[in-house]
Structure 1
Amino acid sequence: MPRNRKELEVRFIRYTQDVLDDTFDDGTRLSDTLDGLRNKRYKINDKIPKITVVKKDEIYFCKDNRELWVLKGFAAFLEETENVLLKVPVQFGKLENLKMTTTTEGEDVRLRHKGSTEEFNNIKSVELSTIRYSADKIYGFSRSGEDELKIFLSKHRDPSKLPVLDVVKRKGKLYALHNIQLWLVKHWFQMKHGGVNDEGKQHSPNIDESTDSPNIESDIDSQGLEGAVAIDDTDRANVETKLFTDKQEEEFHDDVVIVDMKPYDKYPENTALENEGLSIKLVLESKPNKSSHPKYRQLTRQSASNDRRSVREYGDACKSKQRRR
């Protein structure tokens, strides 16, 4: 058997789309094809060609979504009636040609009539503790994060007024696309669950203005903040200060928020998170501008050859000058 072909259990193969037409290109309804397999009017090879899969994030995704819908329906039928797990031959496609519009990581799919313009929303309610950050740092905050939090609290006094969070499901976990929103929402609930001082006022991080070099006060018991760090203005540009860390996930266990599930490929590729997205650092300075760094010419075999030619020409010119002298 060729190396790019093998058999896989249908239950391990996932969709790459959320919505499918309910007919094949020849007009045959998916449900009619599934009924024909159940009733043994024909075999799989008669109606379903070999499907193409791509392995990504240790998951097998199928490019032939309508065929997979029929196979999954038949696999469920066989498992229920005959206690058999269906395996099918597959061939592997190229990763760069994979288009991922699924918002459920390929676990669910919906059918619609071919040619229909019916829209489906991906709004869901989930526990706040299940949402993670998609980056390690948030840049450009005020010195304590207090200003951003105060503005957010003043605009969102009721849970129903909280913003809908855009999230992507990757590797079985939910990641926020807008980390600042997630940070603010988590601290909104933190205030709701007792983030108040002895006078009954909402507690927020303070800055000690009595010294030339402000100290960010830390109150871990009531606010879950850490990182009381003295910051000199002279070297602020070189300091990345961790101002906040989120409380343990169980604190947010009962808090439910509304999310909009976004396509799988909206999540940045090759994102490496220090703490698996469970916490995030607030950085005072703006995000470094990559364009400010000097650009170096990419070294290629051709450019190296040109450089050597230029050196030789320069050397020959110097020699000719010496001879004329």
Structure 2
Amino acid sequence: MEVSLTARLGGPEVGILFLAGVVHARKRLKAAMGGVSLVGLDAMDITLHIGGSITDISPAEPSVDARYFKQQRRLKIFVSIPSAEAQASPQEDVGRRVTEWLVHGLESVVLPRSAAGMTLGPVLSAFRRDLKTEDVNGLVDLVCKSFRPALLDLFRGGESFYYCTFVVTGEGHAPFLSAWSEEALARAVDESGEGPEVAADLRWSYADSPYVDFGSEYTEKLRAPFLARPSLQELGVDEWEKEIELRMDAVEQAARQLDAEGAFGAGQRRSRLLVAVESMPPVPSNVDRVARLNDTNSDIFKQWLEEAAEVDG
């Protein structure tokens, strides 16, 4: 199906802020709609009017209208955004804001009687799939850029690391790094004054590691992008669970990409290191992620599975 996106920007300040986001949304829309077909529809034109200092078509609240041209098999959708809402948009994420306006327009549009029986469900589904893929890819890239230098600094000291984990809290905050080496564990046991038996309690405890939140000067850059994502209050419980899953998938993909780059070492060094992406407090799905990131036949994975994994049943 042919699809187009045109923007009418209500002032020069709107153009400066949103033009790049519109161009990006246009590419995403066309890519998502490439394989979509609807009965009675060959083309869909979307016009997005963003109010500004010169014109503000919908000053009270966002509005959406549609016209269907049956002979041309063409649907035209008009989405109008008030100047006040445009000005309130976070400047660091205008591309996402433009996309949200388009999704809202497609969700809320009332089709004219001439388009009776037509549904935009397949259009929305395709667009949402594309959005999810790009959301994950964007987070993967951000996590890799932040953790790459942190891991380089961590392993530079030459200690024998056996555990390296990307920790994500149950609230879905940005991941942070924690790790244990045999040398760090020996030092911690000595400093505890409680004897060697304390090693079992410390060995897999991310919170007790001297390397907890290591490289925060790099990874703190992730906090703003994660905070900018939808919250539980915005989404509701079911959609929030999907959002948490998306974040965990992104961090796991980033860990896998960094592993492919050799960030965790190679050969015997890598086989002796357990790489993890974990939600804390622990959840059973942590086991699946750790299994996907490591050789499940390795001694270190079997040891972690026996000593630390939270398993259903």
The TM tier, using the shorter chain, reads: under 0.3
Higher RCO (CA-CA < 8 Å; seq separation 6+) = 1
Select the structure that is richer in helix: 2
Report which of the two structures shows the higher radius of gyration computed on alpha carbons: 1
Q: Name the TM-score, length of structure 2 as normaliser.
A: 0.25
